Structure 1
Amino acid sequence: MELKITILPLLLVFFVHHAVQASSCQFPSYLTQRTRWESKISLNRRSTGVYWKFHDRVLEIVDLTTLDADSVLHQCHSELPGQKYVVYRESDGVTSYQCLKFITRSNQVVQFKASVSVKEEEFEADVLCADDSLELDPWPLIWPGETDTYHACPLTGGYDFYMHDNKNKETTCENSHLKPRMESECMTGEGLTLDFRSFECRGRIEMELKQTLYCLGTWNEEDYTYSVVTDNDDLWPKLWVLRFSLHRDQKFSARLYNDIAVDIDSAFTENYFELHFEQAYYPSLCENEASPCLDCDINNAFYCQKTCHTCDALRDVDSCEFDVPSQGEWQEISHQGNRDIAVTSSMIYADDMLPLQCFDLHTDVWYEDKNYRAVATVFKNGCKPRYTCVEFVRISTSVLMYRISQNLIWPQKLILSGQDVCAEEQFRDDPKPLSGEFRSKGLRPLLKKKGVGQHHPTVSCGISGKFLLDAKMMHRSMNCTAYLEACSSSHTFSLQTDSACSGSVDIETHRCLGSFESGSTTMIITDKPAGNGDYYCWAFYKEEWDSVYSVYLLYASDCHAEIGRNIRYYNFKGHLAEFGVKMGSGLFGSHSCHDEFPDMLPTTVDITAKSSAPGIITQSSSDSIDFSTTKNRYYTTSTAFRRSTPKPVFPSTLRKLPTTPRLPLTTPQVTQFSTRMATHAPTAPPQGKSAEFSPELKKPGGGNLKELNQYKPVAAAIKSNGAADACTCSAVLLTLSFVFPLFLSQ
């Protein structure tokens, strides 16, 4: 009996030890927020060998190369500094331990190092996770789905190229009259485009003749830059790895791998294409694209415009001007940040965009009757010139509506008309995650910049009466009651909320600066009487089949014709609040100004006394967040994305508007951007301002029913660990329930 009593405490210690470890060890959110990560991807993702599925404390690795897609569960045992995690698994009564170190290249690309597996009697965490015990796995983990972060590609500029197929030992189009062309990030958000010109030059690469690629993640390792690129296909995105030397000049070579593996020693995979690049320059709208240009027959006139004198170049730049109401200094204010835009008589300057120059087109009645202007951009980094269309519509003294079309790349036609550049189909949003960030389908508001102490003139709001609202503040994920009143003035309205919205009963006044209607949405642009640069948009949205209006509160420049549908159907998350109108008989569901709501909020709040307190939209200075520690939502590079610290948590009030320009450039983008901008002078960013925002990353939904049924053991493992996390003593009681009957039966 003494032996039995001695063994019992040892068993208890063992089970309690594992319960405590399980309760404290948890995989990071950037891994668990994805439904699954893919690894051992080959043949452009036609073959995937392994799925990694991270749950809070369980890692499931599914081997797709086996007949039954064998699944192995690893429990999170402990976390060590440096993104190192000890995991353990049990098989045939034997517990084995392994250390994993994750290296975040982006929110879609994660590399990892792994130790060998050791048995329990050999396990020492510090030894197992020592740097010299870890070996880099050549197959990174990839999330190929949608994301809300745009990763700029590492190359910037334009290059001619020819290609060598390493597997077939064939070289194509080395001496072509019109060489294949690569252009990368010439305009922000364009990604990387390979124009093979012909099927012969494309060889066996599984791409379109003109293929646009987007970068999922970029990093430097030893003497090379690596970038995982995708064709961004809606149904099944293909993947490649682009590798090139850190030390390059106007001529350099790069490898395009079909297998998504890191090939440092050039011996891991033979399945790649060698691309030989040479920078070619097109500094004006009158250049030769082909080489050599020996004659000017009908086939060469288009590609040899300079030699053949067939240029449709800038004929008279000085005669092209933007309308006077469009000229001036403006601000774009959205959930991604602020951007300064200056419109002169013939130029547009904007933060994180190259200057756009107005130029004359062959005019026609269609073009002259519109609010359009064609603009051109020329480069000195090898990129071809771009034609773009800009539309301006001034709706008030303070608000200018604008949109920018997709780019047309020179050369286009020998005679280019307004309808070629400004056709309606040219106005469309960029692919996600940029969407309408730079180029857009709908008009978006700009706010006139004003001097210190100045106030914008107001206009009629276009609404009247009282609105009883069910409110949802997006930063708090909870519902409350709101009351909007537009009775005392046609140029202002007030919003009153109960304590569930902001912690106290608040009343805020909003001044109307402009309003416009598009389709099923009416939008009102407002600021606040303090004139501190807080600009918002109130979008009243109702489809024909809706019984009530929905009202969305957004930053001013987030408003456009499709914003209601984007929020309701396309998962747009940039709005601040949404309101359901409790219908009255008036416009937009308002009630009469004479109606009383005895069950509504108290209306005797002293507005003057509360003027210094933060409201539901404003935020006190003590709530500010250092922008230097907050990564920009849409632009990350290998050095910028290091989400190792917790995301800032905002207090009960809504976040303050970010006021620094977007696109924080970091290595390797700084050098590239500086080179690109060397000959241009966009307006300087505003000084002495801070910015703050903490974007929520999209959390994809869980897989299909087949997967759910196939991996039911995962649910049991998570449930077991959840019990340990809730109360470690539960594991002890469970242990006792099994151990004591064994001893009592002896």
Structure 2
Amino acid sequence: MHNSDAEVFVLNDMTSLRMRVKIAMMETLFIPLLLFALPGLLCQDYCRFPQYMWGRQAGSLNGTWITRTLYSDNLKRASSYQEIVVKRTVIETWSCASNGSSSPCETKELVENMQCLTEEAGGKLRVQIRRDTETWFACIKFWERQEGIVQVEKSVPAAINVDTLCFDKALVRNPWPWMIPSKQSWNYLPFEGGYNFRAFVDGQKKMCRHQWRPSRMESECIRGEGLRFSFPESSCSFFPGSVENIQLYSRGSWEEQGQVFLLLGEAASLPRYTLVYPRDLPNLIETEATLYLHAVTPLSDDFESPDIASLKAVHLQLSKTIDSEVCYDEGPECESFARKGWCTSESWHKYASFCKKSCGLCGFVPSMVSECEFPEAHRGEWLMVASDAIERVAIGAGNIAFSSLGSFICKSKHWSRDLFKMMSVYKNGCRPKFTCLQFRRSGRALLYRMSQSNAMDRSFGLCAFVDDPSPLKDRIRSADYKVLLPKEHAHEGCGLSGWLHVNITYPDGTKCEGSISDWNTKQCTAASELTLENWNCRKDPEKKFTCIVSVDMSADTKVVITQDANKRDSSRRCWLVTTRYNKGRWGTPWLSGYFLDHSQCGANKDFGKVNSGSSEMAVHSVRGNLNRVCENGGSWVRPETSSVGARSTRPFAPTHPSHTPGSNVMAGAVRGDKNAEPKYVASLILIATLCVSSVCAR
């Protein structure tokens, strides 16, 4: 073979090799495109239900909801309910019944299977319904009232799939909302204040006719506290067990046809009650409301339905209390009792104890004047950072004012401990209550905790400190101390003012290398966002935090309150930042930062004994000097990385194809092995088929 022929052969062979490589690369790129596009093409006959219906519940591609929960009288456990399992394209409805056993679902039967067919105008979905051997068609629409609460509208199922099924007038509102059973959040109530009420059942049958003292309903006396019902005696109560006091929390509310529907539930339980009241309730002195003893939200058109008419409901005649005085009458009859001389009769305790104002006993009740003083070190303006808000606290000589929790008057101090009996007086019609507060200093911080409130003055017997039940938990009252940060030492921003090369340590012992910075190189100034970069570990390559406030707790310690900048986690979190010097105060500073469990800085309230084991993440500076390079002053050069107990100093990269299972087929295709190409194509078809069948089934 001549040299020229050999060169041509080599060139042709090289060209052929390049072509085979290009084809193999195109086929390799074709895999994800095929897997992505083919399911959409083959499943195009099916629509999908809204993602919030099936994609929000952690650890599952399905969403589980419950509805139509029925309770037997005086029982807290449900006797029956429906379980709704929502997949991408299919909804299964199951009926559950307990039959009086301890199991929440002793018997379970499939009621119907609903397949999403097509999307229609106005957010409606055309569906096919299978019940046993029958097939029906309908149109459905979902209204997300609140996260975890959905209202459903559906047309009456028909045997023929006709256009009129999706007309607006064909949709019928389901009075039973769907709720996520694992949802444990709570909401602030839409109204606040105190109300006296009389209750009526079975039409106009008045409850508790013989009792002159009215029942009470108080909402959000302390913001976040919920709704409290109180009855003068157990026979007046319409709640299970005839309890005289019950605390309910809001799980969600919305307005519809001029009324507000408020779903209520006890601590750590699903909504069981619905309070329906006019939307202008806060502006009315006298009004009416209805409390359903089931989580149902009927409109006027639903009352003719037999299953709604059979549900127990209580009609409430509400009378708002205007005055917030310490001395008050519990009922309007008190003035008449005083004129009849019943305040001093043999049974005076039946009247005088509840008619202090009319009976002239105001001199024997606590006044609104403070009777004790706080130490000088406690006084001033403070910040208390909760997971969802910042509370501003002003402590004077004998009173405390919280921006949302209300005001407290100091009535007495314990003789040996830092305990204070406080009286809270409200401006919204709630009755005065007594609360115990305890304080402790920790450097510049002031620690405090609050007891449960009580309408009765139990002196220091009030001072039992426990968390509220779920879902409130330690939001207001707590067994642990809460941190008050000194406002005079608070600053905006993150307080770092630069870029720092750091080592990152996680609780499991993993050590990584990276940087932390709040420096804006374009504007050449500190920003209000903290960026943590992880250079050589797989977890958390970059995290961004919005800095809410930074507080200097001492010359060497700083607290920085942050929030996830990407809004994936809305709660506020605490960074504890400490500085040490290797050669006295004038040496190079070395910084350590600890990312703690929540906004209250966890168990590290002494701000000095924190370590990596008690934090979710710790960062330690490699070099003490901050980098403050600006764009107009030169480029920012990242320091060379070095191994700091990490897995590898190289950036993470996927394993080479030749080392992956099944890569011999791909390698054969690249080499031009003709026997490998059919196997390769068959593998693609098999993978795509399995993917399509899996996706379409959901």
What TM-score range do you get, normalising by the shorter chain? 0.5 to 0.7
SS in 1 for 2:343: coil
Quick check: 293-302 or 99-108, which moved more? 293-302
1:536-594 Cα shifts (integer Å, max 9, x gaps): 2489xxxxxxxxxxx7624552424899xxxxxxxxxxx9971499xxxxxxxxxxxxx
- 2:503–2:512 CA contact under 8 A, matched in 1: no
- Matches of 1:321 and 1:81 in 2, distance apart? 66
**Quick check: 1:441 aligned with 2:482?**
no
> Paired residues, what number?
516
Change (3 A) 1:316 1:183: closer
SS in 2 for 1:325: helix
- 1:184 CA drift (Å): 1.6
- 1:102–1:112 CA contact under 8 A, matched in 2: yes
- Matches of 2:265 and 2:238 in 1, distance apart? 19
Question: Superposed, which structure 2 residues align to 1:560-709 within 5 Å?
Answer: 560=603, 578-579=616-617, 603=622, 607-609=626-628
SS in 1 for 2:437: strand
Change (3 A) 1:456 1:349: farther
- Matches of 1:191 and 1:324 in 2, distance apart? 34
- 2:228–2:246 CA contact under 8 A, matched in 1: yes
Change (3 A) 1:36 1:390: same
The structure 1 residue matched to 2:88, chosen from 56, 60, 80, is 56
The structure 2 residue matched to 1:331, chosen from 374, 377, 383, is 383
The structure 1 residue matched to 2:454, chosen from 397, 404, 408, is 408
- 1:395–1:514 CA contact under 8 A, matched in 2: no
Change (3 A) 1:456 1:728: closer
**Which residue of the partner structure matches residue 275 of structure 1?**
316
- 1:406 CA drift (Å): 1.8
- 1:472–1:577 CA contact under 8 A, matched in 2: no
- 1:357–1:376 CA contact under 8 A, matched in 2: yes
**Which residue of the partner structure matches residue 419 of structure 2?**
372
**Quick check: 1:385 aligned with 2:432?**
yes
Question: With structure 2 as the length reference, what TM-score do the two structures score?
Answer: 0.62
Change (3 A) 1:602 1:189: closer
**Which residue of the partner structure matches residue 135 of structure 1?**
172
- 1:163 CA drift (Å): 1.5
**Quick check: 1:557 aligned with 2:600?**
yes
Change (3 A) 1:91 1:604: same
Question: With structure 1 as the length reference, what TM-score do the two structures score?
Answer: 0.58
- Matches of 2:273 and 2:550 in 1, distance apart? 52
- 1:470–1:482 CA contact under 8 A, matched in 2: no
- Matches of 1:481 and 1:32 in 2, distance apart? 33
- 1:334–1:558 CA contact under 8 A, matched in 2: no
**Which residue of the partner structure matches residue 278 of structure 2?**
245
- 1:160–1:180 CA contact under 8 A, matched in 2: yes
**Which residue of the partner structure matches residue 309 of structure 1?**
361
The structure 1 residue matched to 2:230, chosen from 192, 195, 204, is 195
CA RMSD of aligned residues (A): 4.9
Question: Superposed, which structure 2 residues align to 1:353-372 within 5 Å?
Answer: 353-358=405-410, 360-361=411-412, 367-372=414-419
- Matches of 1:614 and 1:336 in 2, distance apart? 38
SS in 1 for 2:224: coil
1:359-389 Cα shifts (integer Å, max 9, x gaps): x23x6xxx12222233322234321012222
The structure 1 residue matched to 2:250, chosen from 215, 240, 254, is 215
- 1:326 CA drift (Å): 1.5
- 1:356–1:375 CA contact under 8 A, matched in 2: yes
- 2:90–2:115 CA contact under 8 A, matched in 1: yes
- 1:444–1:559 CA contact under 8 A, matched in 2: no
Change (3 A) 1:130 1:605: farther
Higher relative contact order (CA 8 A, sep 6+): 1
**Which residue of the partner structure matches residue 374 of structure 2?**
322
SS in 2 for 1:317: coil
The structure 1 residue matched to 2:66, chosen from 2, 14, 38, is 38
- Structure 1: 5+ residue runs without aligned partners? 1-13, 458-465, 474-478, 485-494, 516-523, 540-550, 564-574, 582-600, 616-722, 736-746
- 1:50–1:63 CA contact under 8 A, matched in 2: yes
The structure 2 residue matched to 1:28, chosen from 32, 44, 51, is 51
- Matches of 2:390 and 2:490 in 1, distance apart? 18
- Matches of 1:324 and 1:243 in 2, distance apart? 48
**Which residue of the partner structure matches residue 575 of structure 2?**
536
- 1:471–1:482 CA contact under 8 A, matched in 2: no
SS in 2 for 1:132: helix
Larger-Rg structure: 2
Change (3 A) 1:732 1:374: closer
Change (3 A) 1:275 1:206: farther
- 1:552–1:578 CA contact under 8 A, matched in 2: yes
Quick check: 371-380 or 212-221, which moved more? 371-380
**Which residue of the partner structure matches residue 350 of structure 1?**
402
- Matches of 2:616 and 2:533 in 1, distance apart? 14
**Letter in structure 2 aligned against 1:283:** S
**Which residue of the partner structure matches residue 85 of structure 1?**
125
Change (3 A) 1:302 1:114: same
**Quick check: 1:340 aligned with 2:392?**
yes
SS in 2 for 1:450: helix
Change (3 A) 1:147 1:611: farther
Change (3 A) 1:99 1:606: farther
- Matches of 1:449 and 1:261 in 2, distance apart? 46
- 1:42–1:258 CA contact under 8 A, matched in 2: no
1:142-187 Cα shifts (integer Å, max 9, x gaps): 3354423x222334221222221217x6312356332222212211
SS in 2 for 1:435: coil
- Matches of 1:456 and 1:436 in 2, distance apart? 27
Change (3 A) 1:610 1:146: farther
- 2:113–2:131 CA contact under 8 A, matched in 1: no
**Which residue of the partner structure matches residue 420 of structure 1?**
461
- Matches of 1:108 and 1:732 in 2, distance apart? 30
- 1:112 CA drift (Å): 0.6
- 2:573–2:601 CA contact under 8 A, matched in 1: no
Quick check: 90-99 or 381-390, which moved more? 90-99
- 1:443 CA drift (Å): 0.9
- 1:106 CA drift (Å): 2.0
Change (3 A) 1:393 1:83: farther
The structure 2 residue matched to 1:469, chosen from 476, 493, 505, is 505
Change (3 A) 1:160 1:27: same
Identity of aligned residues (%): 20
- Matches of 1:131 and 1:140 in 2, distance apart? 19
Question: Superposed, which structure 2 residues align to 1:69-84 within 5 Å?
Answer: 69-79=109-119, 83-84=123-124
**Which residue of the partner structure matches residue 656 of structure 1?**
none
**Quick check: 1:289 aligned with 2:326?**
no
Change (3 A) 1:237 1:220: closer
**Letter in structure 1 aligned against 2:236:** C
- Matches of 1:614 and 1:97 in 2, distance apart? 65
**Which residue of the partner structure matches residue 647 of structure 1?**
none
The structure 1 residue matched to 2:212, chosen from 177, 181, 194, is 177
Change (3 A) 1:727 1:390: farther
- Matches of 2:451 and 2:140 in 1, distance apart? 47
- Structure 2: 5+ residue runs without aligned partners? 1-37, 58-62, 98-105, 496-501, 516-531, 562-571, 579-593, 607-612, 639-683
- Matches of 1:614 and 1:173 in 2, distance apart? 79
- 1:223 CA drift (Å): 3.1
SS in 1 for 2:600: helix
**Quick check: 1:481 aligned with 2:483?**
no
